[in-house]
A and B are shown apart, each in its own frame.
Chain A
Amino acid sequence: MAEEPIISVRNLTARYGEDVILEGVSLDVYGGEILAILGSSGCGKSTLLRHMVGLDRVSAGSVVIDGVDITTCRSQEYHRTLRKIGVLFQGSALFGSMTIGENVALPISEYAKLDKGPIGALVKMKLCAVGLDGYENHLPSEISGGMKKRAGLARSLALNPSILFLDEPTSGLDPIISAEIDGLIRRINQSLGTTMVIVTHDLGTIMHVADRSIMLDKSRKGIIAEGDPHELKRLSSNPIVRNFFLRQAREPTAESESRS
């Protein structure tokens, strides 16, 4: 991939108080690809994602999204950049007091100056796309975990962002629902050309969805491996990487791998 990266992270250092979580992390994400950020729990995957989208302030380094360094740019420019990105949070982060339809409609009504009718139609299309047609009037508390993820996905796709960040899209879901979510992510990537950055430790997602992966490690506070996940699994000589793929293979997520 010789083209310019759409996201470029350089020497990112992230710390919470005294604790350094990540140090000197550099990575590129290219347009249209699905990049998986792997690693065991507590290695800083979600932290990296939060810093990449500007939810937490970097201690050092830069994050350039589509030519804008969000760590130093003016607030207006940052807000313009935000229009290009969507985030699916780990717990879906749906607004509990609003229905699923209202949740999805919220960003549309804020940015696209449309009447109620067209917004309703768009919401219906988004919900159809994620397989939640007919659930517009349900509250988030009335639907299952997997449906919440779908609804969160529909909301994060509301304004058709060019980059989508997904934080553990399949965590807490059974292998069948996980595989469905994986398929959905792949379809969205193919049909809309959305660049995706997925934080996960689900081997099924990594193997079936990701074009490329980077692996973080807690002791190194940074990236220890990078490449096609299938090649990493087969060829990596790094014991941590091998261990990650081998140990995961013994866990139930492997079922989803063998099934599809």
Chain B
Amino acid sequence: MVESEHDVPARFDVSMDPDGECRLRLTGRLDVVNVSGIQQEIMAAIDRHRPRRLLLDLCDVTYLDDFGALLISQLRDSVLLRSGTLRLANVPEHVQQMLSLIHFDEGDVCRPTFEKPTSDAVSRLGEATLQLVFNARYLVSFLGSVILSFGYAVVHPRALRWNDTVSLMEKTGVDAVPIVALTSFLLGLVMAFMAALQLRQFGANIYVASLVAIAMVSELGPIMTAIIVAGRSGSAFAAEIGTMRISEEIDALYIMGFRPALFLAVPRILASIVVVPLLTLFSSIFAIAGGLLVGVLMLDLTAAAYLNQTVDSLTLSDFLWGFSKSIVFAAVISWIGCLRGFQVRGGAASVGNAATSAVVSGIFLIIFLDAMFAFIRNYG
């Protein structure tokens, strides 16, 4: 029975009554499948007659859904546009129910209203500025609460979650060793290879070792490591804390009397500050190993000569700069990761945005601070 009803296609028939009223008779199922097939034809037929009065006979409509109702609504609009009238006749009970369900009689109910209200450029600029100010305020207050929490942890070392800190060190540090080692090794290899192509022309092969060593220890080692940590751990911090935020876990911490910054941010920042300099050291060592491989295989240097040149060209100052940079980068990456996590509001999309933003702002800050370091070192 239902099967056969489905088979009844929608049809229509237009006729003009002697008194000038146009009669449109609809038959069959007016549903999502059928309506689109006949809609244009119906509208074209109505446009040909351009009636002032339209009578819609729904007697043989076996089924009508909101797609069918949309057709009727469009017919009503086209008649009203000509200051005419639309009359429904022989409306079956089920059609009447559907029409009342969507408040068809209220006229403008079929106008779309779900478009997002768009604000003009000036108010958008204003909103963006206010947002920036609020963000800056939050940034400063979060920085303050992290510093206070660090101070509290120094005075009350037992209040710090040492177990969490150690496991975070493992996640941020030990687990990152393979990827840091591999990328640094390849970076050292490529750097040495590129340098060798140029320096070989002048017989200055041995300086490949100096180039790789100085570049890695004071510049690229800290930056590469920081970028990898920002991608691996900065985003993880933001996502973890953000998820805790939306599942009310941070509220629960607060109610239980814990300081969320001390409980969540301090272990992460501390763990990063401890392991990132070590990772940076690994990074430099592996890059030098990459350079050594090129030196020995391409430039006919002995391993001892390469390593001697490496040691000779490095100064304590290079080490110290690289070391201090990596500490600052670690603090900044983990701080921004935690900050983005705490800023999460709403749902899952917000957590994703926080993770992305943690990486983007982390990398930006690394490059920015590196430029500051370079400036201080050369002119300070």
Contact surface of A with B, Cβ cutoff 8 Å = 50, 53, 55, 79, 82-83, 85-87, 89-91, 93-96, 106-107, 110-111, 155
Contacts and interface: CB of A to CB of B under 8 A. Distances in A.
B256 A89 contact: no
Nearest to A85: B255
B251 interface: yes
Nearest to B252: A93
B257 A93 contact: no
A95 B244 CA distance: 8
A83 B254 contact: no
A95 B257 CA distance: 15
B138 interface: no
Contacts of B254: 55
B168 to A, nearest CB: 11
Nearest to B164: A97
B247 interface: yes
Given A93-B247, A107-B256, 15 more contacts: A50-B251, A53-B255, A55-B254, A79-B257, A82-B257, A83-B257, A89-B248, A89-B251, A93-B252, A94-B249, A95-B244, A95-B252, A96-B243, A96-B247, A110-B258
Nearest to A158: B256
B255 A55 contact: yes
Interface in B220-264: 243-244, 247-249, 251-252, 254-258
8 contacts: A55-B251, A89-B248, A89-B251, A91-B247, A91-B248, A94-B249, A95-B244, A110-B258
A90 B255 contact: no
B255 A106 contact: no
Contact of B257 (A55, A90, A110): A110
Contacts of A95: 244, 249, 252
Contacts of A107: 256-257
A195 to B, nearest CB: 16
A90 B247 CA distance: 9
Nearest to B256: A107
A90 B256 contact: no
A86 B257 CA distance: 10
A85 B252 CA distance: 11
Interface residues of B, number: 12
A95 B249 CA distance: 6
Contacts of A94: 249
A110 B159 CA distance: 8
A145 B211 CA distance: 60
A93 B256 contact: no
A115 to B, nearest CB: 14
Q: 5 closest pairs, A vs B, by CB?
A: A93-B252, A93-B248, A89-B248, A107-B256, A87-B255
Interface string B88-126: 000000000000000000000000000000000000000
A95 B254 CA distance: 13
B248 A82 contact: no
B258 A93 contact: no
A15 to B, nearest CB: 16
B249 A110 contact: no
Contacts of A87: 251-252, 255
Contacts of B252: 87, 89, 93, 95, 155
A199 B228 CA distance: 46
B255 A82 contact: yes
Nearest to B246: A91
B119 to A, nearest CB: 14
Contacts of B248: 89-91, 93
Contacts of A79: 257
B256 A110 contact: yes
Nearest to B259: A79
A96 B246 CA distance: 13
Contacts of A86: 255
Nearest to A90: B248
A55 B260 CA distance: 13
A87 B250 CA distance: 12
A2 B243 CA distance: 45
Interface in B116-150: none
A82 B256 CA distance: 7
Contacts of B247: 91, 93, 96
Contacts of A106: 256
Contacts of B256: 82, 106-107, 110
A50 B249 CA distance: 14
B345 to A, nearest CB: 10
Interface in B299-353: none
